[in-house]
Amino acid sequence: MKRRIVFATGNTDKLREIREILGETDWTVLSIKDAGIRIDVEENGSTYEENALIKARAAAALAQADDIVLADDSGLEIDYLNREPGIYSARYLGEDTSYRIKNQNLIDRLQGVPDEKRTARFVCAIAAVLPGGKELTCRGVIEGRIGYEERGSGGFGYDPIFQVPELGKSTAELNEEEKNAVSHRGKALRAMREKLKEVL
Ligand code: ITT
């Protein structure tokens, strides 16, 4: 029987990307919802890794003994804004505020700021809790710049304002495969996939 990976996220956009990246493995990827698990944790860590571990541990406590439990904590760091919104990216301006508004607000806060000072990065930490309790974390980063307007309709969240200079496109202008090939989440998950192959 295929080994189960239970992914501790309530974000369906993340899950879509995760399934695509872990698609060709021997593991079946389930969301916590698919696995019948509900968690309600306070993400009160001070790093992406700590928050990812908080989510993974909470789900692992309710998962089957032989499940591999993973979680993702990620965010956008804008250098000019002292790396805001960072680990507070989902909560920035309120969890239920639309990304139209959040993105426009960030563009407004960078009004008059020249290209070279608009540097930013997406960061993703993936945490794993393995059967037996061993814990692993991996981090992936993509460097870019904040654009002057929203561009593209792919991806989610802050993608329309995140420009990748080498590609001349925002991450919302990439298709899923193209985004996963260069993204913070793609890099972190591929690193985790390799670590898991080594230890399992
Ligand atoms: P879970 O905790 O349930 O996984 P969440 O959306 O609350 O879902 P995070 O706390 O990790 O997840 O917040 C990550 C936020 O960072 C996310 O909601 C987006 O605003 C932003 N973000 C992360 N990855 C992104 C990406 O690939 N493209 C655009 N925005 C991204």
pLDDT per residue as tens digits for the range 122-133 = 999 999 999 999
pLDDT 10s digits, 68-115: 999 999 999 999 999 999 999 999 999 999 999 999 999 999 999 999
Instruction: Return the beta strands (E) in 23-133 as ranges.
Output: 27-31, 68-78, 84-85, 119-129
Domain boundaries, the chain: 3-199
**Catalytic residue among 73, 79, 96, 159, which?**
73
Nearest in space to 169 (alpha carbons), one of 188, 195, 184, 150: 150
* Interacting residues of 76 by C-beta distance below 8 A, sequence separation 6+: 85, 86, 89, 120, 121, 122, 157, 158, 162
| Tokens matching residue 31 | 């969301």
Structure-block tokens of residue 50: 């700590």
Spacing, Cα 90 to ligand 1 middle (Å): 6
- Collapsing DSSP to helix, strand or coil, 134 comes out as coil
d(CA 21, CA 70): 13
Q: pLDDT at position 27, please?
A: 86
For the chain, which ranges sit under pLDDT 70?
Answer: 1
Assess whether the C-beta atom of 11 lies below 6 angstroms from ligand 1: yes
Between the CA of 190 and the centroid of ligand 1 the distance, in Å, is 18
The residue whose CA is least distant from atom 31 of ligand 1 is: 157
pLDDT of amino acid 100: 98
Class of domain 3-199: alpha beta
Q: What is the pLDDT of residue 3?
A: 84
Q: Tokens 């607000």 identify what position?
A: 105
- Assess whether 66 carries a catalytic annotation: no
pLDDT attached to residue 6: 96
